[in-house]
Structure 1
Amino acid sequence: MIDRYTQNKKAGNLLVLIVASLIIGGIVGSLDSLFGQVLLAVSGAREQNVQYLLPFLAPAGMIFTYLFITYGKNASQGMTLVFRVGHEKESVIPKRLIPFVMVGTWLTHLFGGSAGREGVAVQLGATVSNWVGRYAGRGSQSSLFLATGMAAGFAGLFQTPIAAIFFALEVLVIGSFKYEALLSSTIAAFTASAVAGKLGLEAFTVALNSPVQLNGTTLLKLAVAGVVFGLTGLLFAASLNRTKQYLAARISHPVVRIGIIGVIASCLLFIMYQGRYSGLGTNLIDASFSAGTIYSYDWLLKLLLTVLTISAGFQGGEVTPLFSIGASLGMVLSQVVGLPPALTAAMGYAAVFGSATNTFLAPIFIGAEVFGFHYTPYFFIVCTAAYLCNMNKSIYPQQKQGIR
């Protein structure tokens, strides 16, 4: 009798988890599609009117930050709150976080800030999953549901469900996987990706045609490239964390801080090729894979301006700029290591992201999903070298230090 009761209870819990994961994936995929498509429209409007919009970056940031702090309350902690829930130091992510981070990121991109978008996807996924988990009476499993939502958010926006699953499982604690969330994360990630795709959000993929024999010489070249990409991810993560700390210490009020730094950022963004380094950085990614113009310093300027934008307090994320930094650096590095430019750009696309986020499997699979699974051995070698060179730094300072 007890065994049957226990089995029935386990089956019931499993059913609840599966249904909840499907609901999370569906809701998050829909929100990702809405957010992503509006963001594309906003970015297009900025590109056509950058000289008129860049001067308003600071005022827009100040107004939004004031409203977010005043009415968003603890939701204004953003990713910090997400990680605190993941580490079970907090239990609730307020639903008002979703509209605030979506609107805030749209404003950042409309007025020319250099930022990404994954921060929104992860936060809205975490918020939805936190709400669904508590509604289903699974408040004690908050960290499990959080990982599920993070996977759904990442998968829906980037259309890379396998990478999203591993990102959610490994990002909370360095060197440790949250295996108990594997099933729910898988269901939610593939559901969110499918829903977002059906609603019109297109996946970014590149068909590489860079045949390279995987011999000893190639292995050495890939390892060297991985070291460079790893150090670049380290540079980004360390610069971001130190700049945030420095600006917070020197200009303590967030509204004043975003105003002052916003003026500096908008001036620099305009002077440097009138907005070439504004937005996500997809222009640099496209140029890297379509024989466009890539300058030897593109990756560095994009890195510095993204660090400045995010450190000031503008909403967005870092991942897509990391993709663009890695891809444009790869184009330059290919001439040094003697590998095909498109292949090296693809390696940089994945490896710089992995190094800066202190994740290992996620970048390997994002490379495979975007550029082709037959290149997985190449991504494995480059991302391994990059991961070993990042000195345990991360753009997410709330990551717990596990075994590495």
Structure 2
Amino acid sequence: MNLPPSARALGQWLLLGAVVGGVCGVASAVFLALLELATDFRMGHEAWVYALPVAGLVLGAVYGRWGASIRGGNNLVLDTVHEGDAVLPLRMAPMVLVGTVLTHLFGGSAGREGTAVQMGASLADQVAHRFGVTPDTRRQLLAAGIAGGFGSVFGTPLAGTVFGLEVVCVGRLGYEALLPALTAAVVGDLVTRGLGIHHTVYPTPGALALTLPVLGKWLVFAAGVALVAVAFIEGTHGLKKLLERRVPWLPVRMALGGLGVVGLWQLSGTDDYLGLGVPGILRAFHDVSLPWDAFAWKLVFTVVTLGAGFLGGEVTPLFFIGAALGNVLARLLGLPVDLGAAVGMAALFAAASNTPLALSLMAVELVGGAVLPHVAIVATVAYLLTGHRGIYPSQRIARRKLGGPLLERIVSLRELHEAPRKPGAPR
């Protein structure tokens, strides 16, 4: 039977998207189960944190020997979407999985989205290679892999879908990948949940009417979020460059980073800032006595961990930083603490990753619809105030955030940020 081209295309995307979502869902389930075991073990054996420098030395040696081709992480994934001809190595998935679990086992402050995105993209590229698809179809499947990994690891398929479309190019949505991305994110989430994974349940803030005074408070709130986002971005990239320049050998860099985290742990006098920090996120929703500097401590812990080269992502630490910052700002501005924590949690990552739409949706999926329109306003304003920078320097951009003509060519944030500028030109 001869099917019309549109029906064949629909069937292809449903099939390929479902396959990608299936493998992403299984990978995320395995990863989350291992991550929970590692976190529980570390919390019951606090002394293991002292071994983080040794773990860094070993992980650095392994990555230096077998992981040179995948050390770009999420930036390698984004570069491959735009211009890569070589298939993402299949070993990226197991290596980032094991490396991230070990980072958390010894107390490193890292997240999980980076691992999920890299596993998803690597597995999606293997699917594209096996099916022998065209280069354009392959790029769309890579976006689906990003969506499937992100959506399944957090239990937020709609946010995962939009994240896969939004993260690739700042200010643009890749609608051509919408169907495979949505299919992969939904199937991935269903598979992960079907394998017995239970995601964190966040408190649901009450509704707050958007009035002019409230809007003014959210604008001040957004400025604070943007400042912290810039501090995180510049701190992580700056420390990474400094260590790479001063300490060329990766194992030693990671060992030094491990020493730094151990020192911070002893200085802070608490293990609240180790690992993912989910209890700290939940605390920020209700505790009006939360230390005002909790967000700063978690920021420094995470900058040192990731800047030194440990594996993991930025989302959950940024959720902690954003929720704690939102708690403090809400108390200062007279906003509900639970709403401030929810908005800060999503908006900080939105600003740092240049994905305000995805994170506005993610906030709704995690804490309910009452967070709108507050989170959309704060995420958008903070995204604009952060400028042309982000935690993923390989993100492409075709037009400056505040408008103007198209750039002569689509460039990475890295190129735009490092290019010589005329006096007064925006960054």
Give the TM-score taking structure 1 as reference length.
0.95
- Among 224, 237, 253, the alignment partner of 1:241 is 237
1:39-54 pair list within 5 angstroms: 39-50=35-46, 52-54=47-49
Report Cα offsets for 1:123-167 as digits up to 9, x if no partner: 000011111111111151322111000000001000011111111
Q: Which amino acid aligns with 2:110?
A: A
Q: Which amino acid aligns with 1:368?
A: V
Q: Which amino acid aligns with 1:108?
A: T
Tell me what 1:394 maps to: 390
The reply on whether 1:91 has 2:101 as its aligned counterpart is no
Q: Which amino acid aligns with 1:347?
A: V
Tell me what 1:296 maps to: 292
- Indicate the RMSD between aligned Cα atoms, in angstroms: 1.7
- Check conservation: 1:148, 1:181, Cα contact below 8 A: yes
Tell me what 2:24 maps to: 28
- Check conservation: 1:85, 1:142, Cα contact below 8 A: no
Q: Distance in 1 between matches of 2:289 and 2:199?
A: 23
Tell me what 1:273 maps to: 269
The reply on whether 1:331 has 2:327 as its aligned counterpart is yes
- Among 54, 74, 79, the alignment partner of 1:79 is 74
Shift in Å at residue 329 of structure 1? 0.8
- Among 50, 56, 59, the alignment partner of 1:64 is 59
Q: Which amino acid aligns with 1:46?
A: R
Shift in Å at residue 293 of structure 1? 5.5
Q: How many residues align?
A: 399
Tell me what 2:421 maps to: none
Shift in Å at residue 246 of structure 1? 1.3
1:10-21 pair list within 5 angstroms: 10-21=6-17
Report Cα offsets for 1:359-400 as digits up to 9, x if no partner: 120111111111112322111111122112111210001111
- Check conservation: 1:241, 1:397, Cα contact below 8 A: no
| Structure 2 residue runs without a partner (length 5+) | 402-427
Tell me what 1:110 maps to: 105
SS of 1:277's partner is coil
1:192-211 pair list within 5 angstroms: 192-211=188-207
The reply on whether 1:152 has 2:148 as its aligned counterpart is yes
Q: Which amino acid aligns with 2:323?
A: A
Tell me what 2:407 maps to: none
Report Cα offsets for 1:178-211 as digits up to 9, x if no partner: 1110000001101111111121222333342433
Tell me what 2:315 maps to: 319
Report Cα offsets for 1:45-92 as digits up to 9, x if no partner: 111212x11111111111122112312341233223212211123431
- Check conservation: 1:331, 1:344, Cα contact below 8 A: yes
Shift in Å at residue 10 of structure 1? 4.8
Q: Which amino acid aligns with 2:116?
A: A
| Structure 1 residue runs without a partner (length 5+) | none
The reply on whether 1:191 has 2:150 as its aligned counterpart is no
SS of 1:165's partner is helix
Tell me what 2:218 maps to: 222
- Check conservation: 1:84, 1:90, Cα contact below 8 A: no
Q: Which amino acid aligns with 1:255?
A: P
Shift in Å at residue 9 of structure 1? 4.7
Shift in Å at residue 36 of structure 1? 0.6
Q: Distance in 1 between matches of 2:260 and 2:67?
A: 26
Tell me what 2:411 maps to: none
- Among 118, 143, 148, the alignment partner of 2:139 is 143
Q: Distance in 2 between matches of 1:208 and 1:71?
A: 45
Report Cα offsets for 1:313-335 as digits up to 9, x if no partner: 10111110000000011111112
The reply on whether 1:342 has 2:344 as its aligned counterpart is no
The reply on whether 1:374 has 2:367 as its aligned counterpart is no
Q: Which amino acid aligns with 2:73?
A: G
Shift in Å at residue 102 of structure 1? 0.6
SS of 1:87's partner is helix
Report Cα offsets for 1:254-274 as digits up to 9, x if no partner: 112111222122222233124
Change (3 A) 1:293 1:270: farther
Q: Distance in 2 between matches of 1:336 and 1:293?
A: 12
Give the TM-score taking structure 2 as reference length.
0.90
SS of 2:306's partner is helix
Tell me what 2:409 maps to: none
Q: Distance in 2 between matches of 1:204 and 1:378?
A: 22
Report Cα offsets for 1:85-116 as digits up to 9, x if no partner: 11123431111111111110111001011111
Q: Which amino acid aligns with 2:385?
A: C
Sequence identity (%)? 35
SS of 1:230's partner is helix
- Greater fraction helix: 1
